[in-house]
Structure 1
Amino acid sequence: MTGLIAILRGVTPAEVVGIGRALVDAGFPAIEVPLNSPEPFESVRLLTDAFGEWCEIGAGTVLTTEDVGRARAAGARMIVAPNTDPAVISAAVAEGMTPYPGVATPTEAFAAVAAGARNLKLFPAGAVGIGGMKAWRAVLPREIGLLPVGGVDEANLADWAAAGAAGAGLGSCLYRPGDDADAVGARAREFSRIWHQD
């Protein structure tokens, strides 16, 4: 999977389906619920039940292999992490899930690939930069997707896309705790427009 990932840090089970519907309607192919949100596995389960047929649902801020298993049991199909932990990557691959480990250096990127990752979360994206991503692109295997996360917003998303990003993770610029589905949907439509423009 490549494209835009909605990061719903702080979302609650009571609101997650309405917000998820707004994101799916806006064309987002993936939604992540970070594990430092309230009742994250319940939100993953609700999203999977409602939208799993059309959208890749995943857990974020996954730091342990135990949480990989819990996310899988809730229906998650992707595992997103802020760091590169070969055990977490391997556990996700073994469960048939897609890992998105966080990488901030070429060494971490190659370690993540060696552990089985085929998509890398450039985090924080502002520290790596577009120039850094282009340099990594020259040495990493061609099939590896690079997705900037952290500091990506409506002002620079088109630049990341033009530079060859396979997708991007969008957090507080898309959703903040307390935002309603209409507000999130409006932002999501704008991000989709930017991402898909020629």
Structure 2
Amino acid sequence: MNPAEAQAVGESLYASGFRALEVPLNSPQPLRSIEILRSTLPADAVVGAGTVLSVEQVRSCHAAGSQIIVSPSTNINVIKETVALGMDSFPGAATPSNAFDAIEAGAKNVKIFPAEQVGLAGFKAWTSVIPQNIRLLPVGGISEENMFEWAEAGATGFGIGSSLYKAGRSLDDLKKRADKLVDAYRTIHEMRKSA
């Protein structure tokens, strides 16, 4: 995402039902995109930064209005600074040991990354040892076709990447993809409520 498209992309995703949006720091002018999303989306939209690798980046993202910090790794210093600044941390973990290190540092959410590598069987094993109050969110290869399998395995949310957004994708295509993902998520949520 870049600042020129941030508002239109954000409003489209919000209209489809997304309430949390992540701007990767490896995109053009990400802090400006975060500022634009925070200033143009309704108050119930959570705007965050992704691919956050350092404490300095955490501070810059916080200053831009980020409410969540998503990382590809379990960087203890990034987690602690994120929590100290009052934001939610979503550190990446590829093993249960990574997840426990993240929890010890203060994370209440763990990004299972790359989910394709961990696999459903591996993820199910994680859910038997990770405390129930910790949200486990698979990221990497998640789409409306496999969300149900991950939810049945214990996922409490999802990180959606290229199956939703890619640079140059039209707003019409983005909306169609967003609607399918939100419909799948809502179906999962309704199934859990009735269970």
TM-score bracket relative to the smaller structure: over 0.9
Q: Where does the alignment leave 5 or more consecutive residues of structure 1 unmatched?
A: 1-10
Structure 1 residues 130 and 194: CA distance shift in structure 2, 3 A:
same
- Count of paired positions: 188
Higher strand proportion (structure 1 or 2): 1
Give the aligned partner of residue 114 of structure 1. 104
- Tell me, in whole angstroms, the C-alpha distance in 1 between the residues paired with 2:79 and 2:17: 27
**Is 2:155 aligned against 1:165?**
yes
Out of 76, 79, 88, the residue aligned to residue 86 of structure 1 is 76
Counterparts of 1:65-80 in structure 2, within 5 Å, are 65-80=55-70
Give the aligned partner of residue 117 of structure 2. 127
Out of 8, 11, 20, the residue aligned to residue 30 of structure 1 is 20
Out of 16, 22, 25, the residue aligned to residue 6 of structure 2 is 16
- Tell me, in whole angstroms, the C-alpha distance in 2 between the residues paired with 1:193 and 1:52: 21
Letter in 1 for 2:178: A
State the superposition RMSD in angstroms.
Answer: 0.9
Out of 130, 137, 144, the residue aligned to residue 127 of structure 2 is 137
**Is 2:184 aligned against 1:194?**
yes
1:98-141 deviations in whole A, cap 9, x for unaligned?
00000000110100000000100000001111222221111111
Out of 75, 79, 97, the residue aligned to residue 87 of structure 2 is 97
1:163 deviation in Å? 2.0
1:87 deviation in Å? 0.2
Higher relative contact order (CA 8 A, sep 6+): 1
Counterparts of 1:176-191 in structure 2, within 5 Å, are 176-191=166-181
**Is 2:131 aligned against 1:154?**
no
Q: Where does the alignment leave 5 or more consecutive residues of structure 2 unmatched?
A: none
Give TM-score, length-normalised by structure 2: 0.94
SS in 2 for 1:33: strand
Point out 4+ residue stretches in structure 1 off by more than 4 angstroms: none
Higher helix proportion (structure 1 or 2): 2
